[in-house]
Amino acid sequence: MIHRRRLRSAWNRVDSGELHQAPRKWQPWLSDTSSLTQKIERAIGQKLEVLVLRDCRHDLNSDESRYFHFKIKRCRIREVLLCANGIPLVMARSIIPSSSSSGSNHEVLRLGKKPLGAVLFAKTRMHSKKKPIREIARLDKRSALWKKCFQQYPELPSVSWARRTLYQLKGRTLLVSEVFLPPLLQHPSH
């Protein structure tokens, strides 16, 4: 009998108690279940600017592919910075399998400079009755996501916090990771 080694992930379910390991100032951002885009826009009193860093087909890392039960290796990867007045507040990385962006989702996922949250949280689009899987992570210099974010945001602290959510859009799966950047703390979280 062959035994597969389980992947160890830095990601933990929000309800696992890991949230309390995060600094108190990040906890409201990490645990919120509403649209992050809308929450930030309410906090800053204006629309976010979306700076698209990458939007192309690419291979997934093994940690990401486990969310899709290792059935897919290549997906559309969209990386953006959510900014206020040119200052990055969040780096988001969305994994969109080909099957999730086809059919009725095809037009919806032509995002351009629109934040994905505007699509995911539109009342007519979210049809899943079950709560999305949400995890948080403490990222450091060994983390692939930390390294990716650091390339775009060199001021990234050596320890950062992120959340990752597995959404359903019209029955199709999308994985969204959001790395919280220090300037976000200049705005109230509620």
What is the average per-residue pLDDT within 12-16? 74
Q: Please, which pLDDT band fits residue 79 given cuts at 50, 70 and 90?
A: very high
Beta bridge partner(s), residue 81: 51, 91
Q: How confident is the model at residue 13 (pLDDT cuts 50, 70, 90)?
A: confident
In a domain, 2, yes or no: no
Look up the domain containing 182 and give its range. 12-186
Number of domains in the chain: 1
The answer to whether residue 10 scores a pLDDT higher than 90 is no
Rounded (10°) CA dihedral 162, 97, 15, 82: 30
The answer to the question of residue 1 being in a domain is no
Domain membership of residue 132 (yes or no) is yes
What confidence category does residue 180 fall into, taking pLDDT thresholds of 50, 70 and 90? very high
108 or 146: which carries more pLDDT confidence?
A: 146
Q: Looking at residue 109, which CATH number applies to its domain? A: 3.40.1410.10
Answer yes or no: is 149 within a domain: yes
Burial class of residue 131 in the structure, from the number of CB atoms within 10 Å of its CB (0-12 exposed, 13-18 middle, 19+ buried): exposed
Section 155-175 average pLDDT: 86
Residue 75 maps to a domain: yes
